[in-house]
Structure 1
Amino acid sequence: MKLPVHNEVMDACKHAATISRFKFYGMDRMFVPRPAVKTATVTFIEINCKTYAVTARHVIEHFQERAREEGREHEGFYCPESPGVAIEGPFLTPPADYPKAPPDIALCPIDRRLPSHIGKETFVVRPEGDPEWPVSHAVGIGFPTEEKHNVKGEHENTRIAMPCIHVLAQGVGSDGLGDQVPFYSSLPKPPVVQNLSGMSGGPAFWTDESNYGLIGFMTEGKVEGPDEGEGTPNGDSRLHFFLQRVDYSILKSWTEYIDENWESKCDEINATINRVRGRQATNKDAEGLYEAYSDAMADIAGVANNPILELLGPPVRDIDEVVDDEFVDRKRAQMLRLLREQNVALDGEKSEDLVKLLGETHFYVLCKKEGIELSQAVDTGHPEFRWCSRDERPFRLEVITPSFVGEGSAIEAMMEESFDKKVAMQERLAEGHSVAVSQQVIAPYGDLPHEQRVTHLIQRLQEKVRANVRAGRFDAEQRFLVCNLIALPPYANTDSILRPVYCRHVVDEGIYTVTGELWMVAFARPGMLIHSEPEFSWSRGVEGTIQTTGILVDETFDRFSGIIFVVYDLQKTARILAVFRDEDCMGKTMVTLVSDRWNDEGDSNGWCLK
């Protein structure tokens, strides 16, 4: 007998995905599980304009039990369908409706954009989609574990193919009042897929030719041959599965419970993790910030290079050397919390957060080393310091730490490239070569056209400064902008970049005139020439003209008397440079901070800069 199925039910795999533990499986796979690893199915639903991931309770319990056996608590979950996405959890199960057992269901609120990241869509649950009982037949959907197999990804990395399976079975006259609903069909011949393990958590739909709706979620499925089970008619194979029954009102009640209790469950988990970490690290804080940083970098050493975190070693040491300072202790604790998060060094956004914390703190430490004791401004939520003395006019320092052009996504793209190169080196060594070498270009400013590299560098640095400086009305105190350039190094490692132009001697080629990019960041006016070393000795040394306006020329930023730049050499030793509107903006404290490493629009101090 042919059972009618709505066309859209046959396309319903778009509402589900494979779910696995968020576990690292090695360089060649990253978080993609091996084919034999037990996985399950997760369904994405939307109800009352909120989005949830749904799977079976026994799935979550199994994953958590395996994680605990390996000494891991609350490791999270992962959908490996390319490009992959994590579901941090927790998944919660609604309470039992006494005297019934707790439902075999687990739900987790998610961002509505999460399914689309892996090419999926939510299924919108509406009251009109409820079935009329008894239901003649249903279609279950999921991703069986044994159907997974390895494939090569776009970059020759290992991915996994996960076929989606539809199972069609007849109802057995259920009245729709019980939690678990069985479906059964006899089959004249064995189906292609013999093992349905892994489909738990997948959606199931009632359907006819013109309508369909969500009826439940898969909790168990099995295919039996003619020699298995009892009562198999005519010696046929048979298929049966069980559903956790749902309808609109049930899901509405469950999701309301989840919404009310999810944050408290998160707090409970965080408290547990903190207690465990506290026990593990009674001496962890004594270990210091640098050790935590080193551990985070060691965690990814065999996987990829984090281009921005690799820059931080020496500044982290500087911060770690400061003791008995309330501000540094507070910031150190924030950085330690970040560094102890799982896989923090593989997360572009968290890497950015760490760099911004470090940029602000390291500037404070550099001032402290010069005997300048700053106080944190308490009337703003932004990184800002205040300095006050009887002998000088007080001033404020607004601190920004611009990140790579492209920010978190650019950092992650560079890590992915690094991973691919490590894989290529391993493959070369596996082929019997005694030496394998790879080269990676770190481009914090993005792709710079060679013929206008200085022009574009200046413009992009101006853009990053503008994007990081807050707008608004401010008090009348003198203000300086502090720009920590640990993530965006200047074009040249010389104090002369504070000059409008300077002479650069190139061995065997001669002396060339080069534009000072930090002077231009502050004082550029449209139409000014940009000089750089020519590619060939006979080429012209002018890139063209700049079309942007410097920060200190722009009226939007007239509150700033100058810009203080924290720049780092190749060993990441910091030095402080500055540009001021004029020499009168400098007081005794500023002279202590910058010494003779400053300039103004008129190049008054250019003769001191080398």
Structure 2
Amino acid sequence: MATLTEAFLREVQAQATVAPSMSVGAHSREIQSVLAFIENEPAAGKLCRDIDRIFRVSNWLLDPVCLQKFIQLVGEAEFWMLVKERGVELERIIESDEKSPDFKLKSDAAVAPRFEVKTLSVKGGDINIAGMSESSFEAQLSLSQQISEGKCFATAITEAAPHGHITDGKNTTAIIRNLIDKTCNNLKTGQYTDGPTCLVLNLMLIDGYYDGSTNLRPIVFGWPDGWSVRSGAYWNLAFGQTEHLVFGLSEFEGKPGIEGKLERQGVLAANKDIAAMLLVVHPSGESPLIYGLMREADEDSWQEEKRELAEAFFKLVEKNWNDDLDTNGWCLFNLTNGGQS
């Protein structure tokens, strides 16, 4: 019987000349690691069965509903795997009719910290995924036609739009609004009230356009030019306010740098029941990282009755965290800017 990794690679190879998925291709290495983790984790039996059920669907990689469900399951398991690699032990919470988070910290405490994992899909969900698959298929068809016509070099363009169609000059605004909207659409009442609970967002499908932890700051300076300024997408996802101005990257000197107002409230600003936010991000060419966002006003309680939550949070994020007052902004950096903030 084939392993999950073997079944995954067989499907990827089968569709490689039909309509290769850029989302899957970009994260193939990480997906294989997660599938191996699932098969070797005794408590991941349900995840293993759910993924195996998807793999039994003919051409599942071309089915947008199956592909979206697969990425959501992989995103949940990836967080579990990364947490375990960092020495934090979680217990999977058994699903029931009552709404509950996905994991809780292994602890002797009466109420252990909990973690609710959401893998955000692209804007438009399976409809957009289907559109990207169609674009990929048309590109492959064009390549085949060019080769059959005897061309020495065949080229084609395919499009991936995880944040949907973006109006020119509104890139940063569209990204932040989409992240907030997708997150809020995934929040369920009652999942964050039984104990200190972190919301975990896996951004495998809709990572931001810019690498580096400076996205955890309200404002990001100095990239790609020394005079450049943009709003930090992840900070605004958590703490943005409707009247906040959104700063975007100007195409040239002298073009206005303010895109407009955010017109959204950040997730942590609007939902006091959520103790903190963790983001699973995938920097280009790097291993996945976990970023963290918390409220500065909660610091005292984290040092006292929520000490277990604090210890787990900082063990997972290391230096990649910030709060609503930009307390840790001084040591955050741009991967795309040689490590400079």
Distance 2:15 2:286 in 1: 21
Give the match for residue 272 of structure 2.
558
Instruction: Report which stretch shifted further, 387-396 or 592-601.
Output: 387-396
Give the match for residue 409 of structure 1.
127
Relative to structure 1, the CA distance from residue 543 to residue 474 in structure 2 (aligned partners, 3 Å threshold; closer, same or farther) is closer
Instruction: Decide whether the 8 Å contact of 1:319 with 1:328 is kept in 2.
Output: no
Unpaired segments ≥5 residues, structure 2: 303-308, 334-341
Give the match for residue 317 of structure 2.
594
2:264 alignment partner, SS class: coil
Matches within 5 A, 1:572-591: 573-582=287-296, 583-584=299-300, 585=302, 587-591=310-314
In the TM superposition, what is the alpha-carbon distance from 1:448 to its structure 2 partner? Answer: 1.2
In the TM superposition, what is the alpha-carbon distance from 1:545 to its structure 2 partner? Answer: 1.6
In the TM superposition, what is the alpha-carbon distance from 1:592 to its structure 2 partner? Answer: 0.8
Matches within 5 A, 1:221-300: 281=1, 284=2, 288-300=3-15
In the TM superposition, what is the alpha-carbon distance from 1:381 to its structure 2 partner? Answer: 6.2
Distance 2:154 2:331 in 1: 47
Task: Pick 1 or 2: higher relative contact order, CA cutoff 8 A, min separation 6.
Answer: 2
In the TM superposition, what is the alpha-carbon distance from 1:537 to its structure 2 partner? Answer: 1.7
Deviations 1:316-342 (A, max 9, x none): 232244364222343233213312321
1:510 alignment partner, SS class: coil
Give the match for residue 165 of structure 2.
447
Instruction: Decide whether the 8 Å contact of 2:101 with 2:114 is kept in 1.
Output: no
In the TM superposition, what is the alpha-carbon distance from 1:383 to its structure 2 partner? Answer: 5.6
Please state if 1:463 is matched with 2:173. Answer: no
Give the match for residue 351 of structure 1.
67
Distance 2:149 2:58 in 1: 33
In the TM superposition, what is the alpha-carbon distance from 1:306 to its structure 2 partner? Answer: 2.1
Letter in 2 for 1:603: D
- Higher strand residue share: 1
Distance 1:500 1:446 in 2: 23
TM-score by length of 2: 0.88
Matches within 5 A, 1:112-127: none
Instruction: Decide whether the 8 Å contact of 2:5 with 2:36 is kept in 1.
Output: no
Instruction: Decide whether the 8 Å contact of 1:491 with 1:517 is kept in 2.
Output: no
Give the match for residue 305 of structure 1.
20
Please state if 1:314 is matched with 2:29. Answer: yes
Distance 1:354 1:381 in 2: 22
Distance 2:148 2:330 in 1: 58
Q: 1:477 aligns with which of 195, 198, 208?
A: 195
Letter in 2 for 1:587: A
Distance 1:300 1:563 in 2: 36
Kindly name which structure, 1 or 2, has the bigger radius of gyration based on alpha carbons: 1
Relative to structure 1, the CA distance from residue 561 to residue 518 in structure 2 (aligned partners, 3 Å threshold; closer, same or farther) is same
1:450 alignment partner, SS class: coil
Give the match for residue 48 of structure 2.
332
Instruction: Decide whether the 8 Å contact of 1:400 with 1:482 is kept in 2.
Output: yes
Give the match for residue 204 of structure 2.
486
Give the match for residue 568 of structure 1.
282
Q: 1:537 aligns with which of 229, 253, 276?
A: 253
Distance 1:395 1:424 in 2: 52
2:228 alignment partner, SS class: strand
Letter in 1 for 2:53: R
Deviations 1:135-157 (A, max 9, x none): xxxxxxxxxxxxxxxxxxxxxxx
Instruction: Decide whether the 8 Å contact of 1:496 with 1:606 is kept in 2.
Output: yes
1:505 alignment partner, SS class: coil
Letter in 2 for 1:595: E
Distance 2:243 2:140 in 1: 45
Distance 1:392 1:600 in 2: 28
Q: Report how many residues are paired.
A: 321
Please state if 1:513 is matched with 2:229. Answer: yes
Distance 1:392 1:442 in 2: 46
In the TM superposition, what is the alpha-carbon distance from 1:393 to its structure 2 partner? Answer: 6.8
Letter in 1 for 2:166: L
In the TM superposition, what is the alpha-carbon distance from 1:291 to its structure 2 partner? Answer: 1.6
Distance 1:564 1:392 in 2: 23
Please identify runs of 4+ aligned residues in structure 1 that moved more than 4 A.
379-383, 390-393
Distance 1:482 1:601 in 2: 18
Distance 2:189 2:219 in 1: 31
Relative to structure 1, the CA distance from residue 392 to residue 521 in structure 2 (aligned partners, 3 Å threshold; closer, same or farther) is farther
Matches within 5 A, 1:332-411: 332-378=48-94, 379=96, 380=98, 384-390=102-108, 394-411=112-129
Please state if 1:436 is matched with 2:150. Answer: no
Identity score, percent: 26
- Higher helix residue share: 2
Distance 2:287 2:168 in 1: 28
Letter in 2 for 1:305: P
Distance 2:45 2:87 in 1: 18
Relative to structure 1, the CA distance from residue 301 to residue 474 in structure 2 (aligned partners, 3 Å threshold; closer, same or farther) is closer
Instruction: Decide whether the 8 Å contact of 1:392 with 1:587 is kept in 2.
Output: no
Letter in 2 for 1:357: L
Distance 1:320 1:461 in 2: 26
Distance 1:293 1:572 in 2: 22
